[in-house]
Chains A and B, each alone.
Chain A
Amino acid sequence: MPFPPTSKPAGRRPAMKAGAVSATAMMAPALILVGVFILIPAIVAVIGSFFDFSMTSANWTYVGGANYRRAVTDPLFWLAISNNVFIVVGSVISQVGGGAILAAILDRGIRRGGVFYRTIIFMPVVISSIAVAFVWMLILDPNVGPLNAVVKALGLPTPKLGWLGDPSISLWMLLLIAAWQNVGFQMMLILAGLQAIPKEHYEAASLDGARGLKAFWYITLPGIRNVLVLATLITVIGGFKVFDLVFVTTGGGPANATQVLGTYTYTQAFSFGNMGYANAMAVVLLVTAALLGWLQVRLSRRG
């Protein structure tokens, strides 16, 4: 080592101080925005979950854990959660699984037109969820929607209450719409992961005797493991947080068949004025999402 090691930290200290100051200044706008729109509301929500109040209440009544106890005994809360879990599981299968299959096809299954299909499949990702919801309401409309027309033309029965109006179908339809909108994003993630695996790894593997399924198992899967973990966690978190799509298409109906935590929280807060209870459910959602987010960071660091 050409320099004595002790002189190094001493020499760098002033520079680091200046660096810290300017770094704080640079991050300030982002920190302020996060603080005002995310951190402070979250803290207020946590506090509010221990009180009973409505939108217009002048006084908040402290109720301790009553809002949380109410949630535990509220069958609708559990129905909403189970619907969330249904969407989470269904979305992981349809979006991550479907995205993986599409990515694999685009990566090596087709000879030409890859960019074209990639663009088409990715397009719904950049459309706002509200617009997607309205488009699909038109498609699924029992009177004028093209889906009914197609199904009828094939001589198959259509649901009497409509695709979104039939409680036994509506949640599946939401799954379909969510998949249509998001599968392109997962496909892009996984495609990037697949294309990051060097060709030589497959060549070396083929010389080592691993082809086809074995190559997939030993080379492809470990190669995209981190991407799959990331894609799954993004989908899981998205599945728990889902609101706009459900709110616009079904509003949680029919008969709460598509009620999710997001819509039920909204209904309790703004339709019934139970702000405290809504806050408690929002905190449950927040804690779930935070846990999953922490898991995501942890898993991606390990890889």
Chain B
Amino acid sequence: MPHLEVRDVVKRYGTLTVLSGVSFAAEKGEFVVMVGPSGCGKSTLLRSIAGLEEISSGSVSIAGHDITAAEPSDRGVAMVFQNYALYPHMTVAQNMGFALKVARRPKAEIEAAVTRAAEILRITDHLGKYPKALSGGQKQRVAIGRAITRAPEVFLFDEPLSNLDAALRSQMRIELSRLHRELGATMLYVTHDQTEAMTMADRIIVMNGGNIEQIGSPLDLYNKPATRFVAGFIGSPRMNFIASRVMRLSGRSVGFSLGEGRPPLDLEFAPGETLPILGDAVTLGIRPEALGDDGEVHIADAEVTVVEALGRETLVYSDARTLRTTDSESLDGYFAQLVPSQSDKRLGQQIELKANRSAFVVFAADGATLHDASPIHHK
């Protein structure tokens, strides 16, 4: 039986539907991350599970109990808020022990729980301080400590690291992963940061427009995105998208246009994959790291417009005027290329964009994935 089960949850504000029938389940001890753009409903879903939002229909159960109508404190959940939400007039210890105090637990028990949580989070030195004397990272630890002392069935995190600076954020990512292992607790984590999702999650839920686009392990989502949305959302820089059309069909071999006067790109569809229809508008996708100077397919000639030298790797952006992208979030005809080393590419340089056949993903007009790429392995 799943530890946390969300079934057909619908949330409406008046005529606005924020969640349109969302279902998923998490096993005990699983770290599940919900990602998606702003307004996709991920925070609303988390708050609905916490009991801070009333859902319009559907059900939520935790550890076998239906808690759809239960009070927030009776659900067996603890939540860590984006802006910490520490009680300013209580010390760190009082903040962490507050839930137990409200529940009238004996003093010794409260103290033991607070001490243990403080040791796990290494904030024992700060127990007597007030929140205003703490740094952002320390406040976030206290907020997590407040959740730990309650020993909940499920931990809920609402973008807990987004107020921290980049260095602290990557440190806290590692700590949260460690914490998850130590506590063996079920955790549901909302973020818009795909790095957090990829690095911490056992499974990722990608949400878009009040629906779940795909649920899977980080690498599953990266290698086999179910939709163009997922392909574009997971991975940075994002996947390059090329507007194309089905030019020929023979058996499981499909030819796609690569611009006027260019030979079509022939891809072999696997037996399980749905074949498109001749003349269909489709989108070809290719990851930035799959683009290079050599490869079986010559995609386009392009001019280098931006070079971002990151030291270990280089991002090369180039303009291929002969091709159209179908992605509203990237400029028409701009390609992102990830070179896994330093590069001598220069602004204005003419380059050839090439890739292997196996690197192409094909999406139907409605966004569903028709054909997967093979992951690239460096030996």
Q: Which residues of A contact B (CB under 8 A)?
A: 198, 200-201, 203-211, 214, 218-219, 222-223, 225
Question: Which chain B residue shows the least CB distance to A219?
Answer: B87
Docked pose: A22 CA to B99 CA in angstroms: 54
Checking B71, B72, B81, B98 against A218 with a beta-carbon cut-off of 8 angstroms, the contacting residue is B98
| A200 and B83 in contact, given A207-B72, A208-B150 (Cβ under 8 angstroms) | yes
Give, as a whole number of angstroms, the nearest-CB distance from A229 to chain B.
Answer: 13
> Which residues of B have CB within 8 Å of A207?
50-52, 72-73, 77-79, 99
CB–CB B81/A204 < 8 A? yes
How many angstroms between the C-alpha atoms of A211 and B52 in the bound complex? 12
Say whether B270 faces chain A, with CB atoms less than 8 Å apart.
no
Binding site for A on B (CB under 8 A): 50-52, 71-73, 77-79, 81, 83, 85, 87-89, 98-99, 102-103, 146, 150
Docked pose: A201 CA to B143 CA in angstroms? 12
Which residue on chain B has the smallest CB distance to residue A226?
Answer: B89
Given contacts A198-B83, A203-B81, A218-B98, contact A209 B89 (CB under 8 A): no
Show 8 A/B contacts (Cβ-Cβ < 8 Å), sorted by A: A203-B81, A204-B87, A205-B98, A207-B51, A207-B77, A207-B99, A210-B73, A211-B71
Complex alpha-carbon distance, A44 and B103, angstroms: 61
Q: Which 10 A-B pairs have the closest CB atoms?
A: A200-B85, A209-B73, A208-B99, A222-B89, A204-B85, A209-B102, A206-B72, A207-B72, A210-B102, A200-B81
Majority SS at the chain A contact face: helix
A198 in contact with B98 given A206-B73, A211-B71 (CB within 8 Å): no
Residues on B with C-beta less than 8 A from A223 are 88-89
Q: How far is the CA of A211 from the CA of B79 in the complex (A)?
A: 16
Residue of B nearest to A206 (CB): B72
Using Cβ atoms and an 8 Å threshold, which residues of chain B touch A204? 79, 81, 85, 87, 146
Most buried by A among B78, B79, B83: B79
Residue of A nearest to B80 (CB): A204
In angstroms, how far is the closest chain B Cβ from the Cβ of A188?
22
A206 & B71 in contact (Cβ 8 Å cutoff): yes
**Which B-chain residue is minimally distant from A222 (CB atoms)?**
B89
Q: In the complex, what residues of B have CB within 8 A of residue A219's CB?
A: 87
CB B18 to nearest CB in A, in angstroms, measures 17
Specify which of A201, A211, A214, A225 is in contact with B85 (CB 8 Å cutoff).
Answer: A201
Instruction: Report Cα–Cα, A59/B138, bound state, in Å.
Output: 71
Nearest CB on A from B149, distance (A): 10
Contacts of A206 in B (CB 8 A): 51-52, 71-73
12 more contacts with CB within 8 A, not counting A204-B85, A205-B87, A207-B73, are A198-B85, A200-B83, A201-B85, A201-B87, A203-B52, A205-B98, A206-B72, A208-B150, A209-B103, A210-B73, A214-B102, A219-B87
**B30 CB to nearest A CB, Å:** 21
A139 CB, min distance to chain B CBs, angstroms: 43
